[in-house]
Structure 1
């Protein structure tokens, strides 16, 4: 099976600083101590099994916030290294930038110098339950953040949108306000409040609000973060709902490795996606597994 994987993370703990791995903690996702080891392109290729990984997009891995450009510089050096056993991976980079910071414009300009940078991610997840809250503030409501968000268009950058369903209405308004900026919903919209009908409706209806914006697409990834003992059948409703909302031309499968490797192998995950969409047309499958990621991230 050939895939383009638009959501992977690499890190080298010997040469770079990742605060969350320097002092790993337990969260709803996992025990981060289990991820405290180097993970490089060759590791991904080695464990891919029968999955032929054609290209990958690296999404910022919570590198040292004091120097987000260093992560980009390092990734470019990995891809350009002579004799790279991972065939020039990563092919594209979604870099980090705190858009609320006073130096955000300068950081964006520095990222733009690198040929593989395609976009920016800043995690936005806010939740009333401290267990699920990532950032504790509503960035999309802040004037400075929105001012710097607008700068993405002049650099041709997309924005990887990691948020919860309760934030989707606000994010859809953001997408409408900036139609020239492509937004990519991360991890299928992170359906977190799974114990109620209201939670399901918030996620389902939120996806459709976002999908009504032509500049928004979705990555179907990270589902195991909320389903540690996943199966094909447990993933099926979330995969199909996301595809139904966005259509096969604005959805793409991704791995979220190495985080999701805590809950299953790389090959098993991709074969699960394939089983779920087995009756889709060949053109739809080509779009979901390869074409959409190539088009949206321009690789």
Structure 2
């Protein structure tokens, strides 16, 4: 792989509702040809960013189990798109199951895309559940800008993460805001760029 290529992403988000789906078809994660391609990433040292909906989290857990040497990063908290109690419970259960796989990390990002009327209190349980499932070593914050800019400013996104994690230790904040991403994506970024909460 090229020196500055650290991984790839495939958007596999599929829903029975055509208006909500991003993937061309369901079941891509079980496709033998697709899996053959995925199987080549680890030997090049490439991570795989996985974007799926909650209904696909169990399938993603099977995928991660089948490729134990592959580093996966679940994007956007697993896309908690269904905001009713049943939908959020399905997301919580699926996320916890996927987190059982040690080769999966989570990117806490673009939550405002799934909660257009968001508040700190609506984001807080989502963020904290992600951290609870994946722990302080496999969770990281991401802005998802410019896409997230459709629903919030960068400062609003960053400040919400800062407030939600205010009770964590400095080392835990450093891991979430910088250290875990640098380690998981193998970034030679030196020290923290001064983005930690003051």
**What is the TM-score normalised by the length of structure 1?**
0.61
Aligned residue for 1:275?
A: 163
Does structure 1 residue 119 correspond to structure 2 residue 23?
no
In structure 2, C-alpha distance between the alignment counterparts of 1:188 and 1:167, rounded to whole Å: 13
1:146 pairs with 21, 31, 35, which one?
35
> How far is 1:168 from its partner?
0.9
Matched position secondary structure for 1:278: coil
> How far is 1:153 from its partner?
1.1
Matched position secondary structure for 1:115: coil
2:74 pairs with 182, 185, 191, which one?
185
Aligned residue for 1:205?
A: 93
> How far is 1:282 from its partner?
1.2
In structure 1, C-alpha distance between the alignment counterparts of 2:183 and 2:42, rounded to whole Å: 17
1:131 pairs with 13, 19, 22, which one?
19
Cα root mean square deviation, aligned: 1.0
Aligned residue for 1:176?
A: 65
Aligned residue for 1:224?
A: 112
Aligned residue for 2:56?
A: 167
1:247 pairs with 114, 120, 135, which one?
135
Tell me whether 284-293 or 230-239 shows the greater mean CA deviation.
Answer: 230-239
> Following TM superposition, where does structure 1 have runs of at least 4 consecutive aligned residues deviating by more than 3 angstroms?
none
**What is the TM-score normalised by the length of structure 2?**
0.91
- Gaps (5+ residues) in structure 2? 188-198
In structure 2, C-alpha distance between the alignment counterparts of 1:136 and 1:265, rounded to whole Å: 31
Q: 1:19-60 CA distances to partner (integer Å, 9 max, x unpaired)?
A: xxxxxxxxxxxxxxxxxxxxxxxxxxxxxxxxxxxxxxxxxx
In structure 1, C-alpha distance between the alignment counterparts of 2:62 and 2:111, rounded to whole Å: 25
Aligned residue for 2:173?
A: 285
Between 1 and 2, higher relative CO (CA 8 Å, sep ≥ 6) is seen in: 1
**Of the two, which has the highest radius of gyration?**
1
In structure 1, C-alpha distance between the alignment counterparts of 2:97 and 2:181, rounded to whole Å: 22
In structure 1, C-alpha distance between the alignment counterparts of 2:84 and 2:118, rounded to whole Å: 17
Matched position secondary structure for 1:206: helix
Aligned residue for 1:36?
A: none
In structure 2, C-alpha distance between the alignment counterparts of 1:263 and 1:133, rounded to whole Å: 20
* Count of matched residue positions in the alignment of Structure 1 and Structure 2: 186
In structure 2, C-alpha distance between the alignment counterparts of 1:248 and 1:271, rounded to whole Å: 19
Matched position secondary structure for 1:249: coil
